[in-house]
Amino acid sequence: TMRIVLNNNSKVTVLKSDLHAVIDQGFVDIHGNPFQKKFKNPDDLENDIGLKCLNDVIALLDNSTDIRIFLNCLSSNLQAFVIQPSKSKEVFKKVAANFQLRWNFLLTGVSKAMTLCRTVSFG
């Protein structure tokens, strides 16, 4: 499904616009709205892995429409933020579970905002 969207420049343009709109206007509903604060400050963005990964994916929409590049980006971020910092199997499980929880929570917030704002790209 994503490949079809990425192969259509007008859909990518609308998706970028919709993502920036829900983020910049603060429609992402996360407790205390740390997303809004951190997304606008690149130094703080580095402190939140989920936001960093989302920012990387959004930035790729400007440069690429190849699904493999998006997957490589996510793979690199997982390697850097989950796999490498893990010194043991137990630490890996904890770090991976935390990342998955935060990533899913973040994407759910973005999806919810896009749905409530009835963005064109969400469908």
Q: How does the average pLDDT of the chain come out, rounded?
A: 79
pLDDT digits 0-9 by tens, 67-79: 899 899 989 999 9
Contact residues for 61 (Cβ-Cβ < 8 A; gap 6+): 12, 15, 16, 19
Predicted local distance difference test score (pLDDT) of residue 92: 93
Taking the complete model, does pTM exceed 0.75, yes or no? Answer: no
Q: Grade residue 8 by pLDDT with cuts at 50, 70 and 90.
A: confident
Express each pLDDT in 26-53 by its tens digit.
Answer: 767 554 444 444 445 544 444 578 778 8
Answer yes or no: are the C-beta atoms of 4 and 95 closer than 8 Å: no
